[in-house]
């Protein structure tokens, strides 16, 4: 991001994710060694393995969404792997349609949007990500949407405007502040459509 404060925040995010992924990976390796040594895989071991796997996937996802950005490409296999691991036992299923490798700063926009959609699908649903002619279309659908209009209105408020709503946004909702800022720095504006069962973002 161009703003120095935003750059610093992104670097902090990258550092935290980088430092956390190593111990989480070590726990995963330890569980595998215990299984290889013949320790029975009871419900306790399964719970630990599932929780550690989910934590590792979330950290990898957050590293892209909240970490330092660049125009270096991310491979499709890496993107799909992160989304697949994060989607295990999740209420929201993400379908990543792009087949090509894509710049990290653009994937970051899509990941921030996915986090926004998660808040609107508390009872589960699907999110489909499409990249066509350089633009993104991300659609979320579910039987019952829970749209906080004040938050979603921040996405289309324009650069600078989201900061005014910072006092009403919780840490779990910070993606609604970051997405319009990141989009603006790439010269993009966010359009959205809503109905009773579908939300759609274009940028």
Query: In the structure encoding, which two tokens stand for residue 1, read together?
Result: 């991001």
- Does residue 200 sit within a domain? yes
Q: In terms of C-beta distances under 8 Å and separation of at least 24 residues, what long-range contacts does 30-34 make, across chains too?
A: none
- Does residue 142 sit within a domain? yes
How far apart are alpha carbons 69 and 71 in whole angstroms? 7
- Does residue 81 sit within a domain? no
DSSP-derived letter for residue 134 is T
Q: Do 103 and 132 belong to one domain?
A: yes
Strands 135-141 and 125-132: antiparallel
pLDDT score for 46: 81
- Does residue 203 sit within a domain? yes
Q: Do 1 and 47 belong to one domain?
A: yes
> What is the CATH number for 194?
3.30.565.10
Q: Do 53 and 111 belong to one domain?
A: no
- Does residue 172 sit within a domain? yes
Decide: 183 and 190 in contact? Cβ < 8 Å. Answer: yes
Strands 125-132 and 92-96: parallel
Residue with tokens 């996405």: 155
pLDDT tens string 92-117: 999 999 999 999 999 999 999 999 99
pLDDT tens string 141-167: 998 899 998 999 999 865 555 444 556
- Does residue 14 register a pLDDT over 80? no
Domain hosting 37: range is: 1-68
Q: Do 64 and 118 belong to one domain?
A: no
- Does residue 78 sit within a domain? no
Mean pLDDT across the chain, nearest whole number? 85
Q: Do 133 and 197 belong to one domain?
A: yes
How far apart are alpha carbons 70 and 80 in whole angstroms? 19
How far apart are alpha carbons 179 and 173 in whole angstroms? 11
Question: Model-level pTM?
Answer: 0.85
Number of residues assigned to the chain = 203
- Closest by CA position to 181, among listed 112, 131, 78: 112
| Domains held by the chain: number | 2
Where are the extended beta strands (E) located within 21-154?
73-74, 92-96, 102-103, 125-132, 135-141
């Amino acid at each position: 991001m161009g703003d120095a404060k935003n750059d610093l925040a992104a670097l902090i995010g990258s550092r935290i994710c980088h430092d956390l992924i190593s111990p989480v990976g070590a726990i995963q390796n330890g569980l595998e060694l215990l299984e290889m040594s013949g320790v029975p895989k009871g419900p306790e071991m399964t719970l630990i393995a599932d929780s550690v796997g989910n934590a590792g996937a979330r950290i990898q996802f957050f590293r892209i969404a909240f970490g330092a950005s660049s125009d270096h490409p991310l491979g499709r296999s890496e993107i799909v792997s992160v989304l697949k691991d994060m989607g295990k036992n999740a209420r929201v299923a993400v379908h990543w349609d792009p087949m090509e490798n894509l710049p990290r700063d653009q994937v970051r926009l899509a990941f921030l949007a996915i986090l926004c959609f998660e808040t609107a699908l508390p009872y589960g649903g699907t999110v489909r990500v499409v990249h066509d002619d350089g633009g993104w279309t991300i659609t979320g659908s579910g039987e019952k949407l829970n749209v906080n209009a004040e938050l979603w209105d921040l996405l289309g408020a324009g650069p600078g405007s989201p900061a005014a709503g910072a006092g009403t946004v919780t840490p779990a909702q910070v993606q609604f502040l970051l997405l319009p800022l990141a989009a603006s720095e790439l010269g993009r504006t966010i359009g959205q459509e809503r109905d009773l069962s579908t939300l759609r973002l274009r940028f």
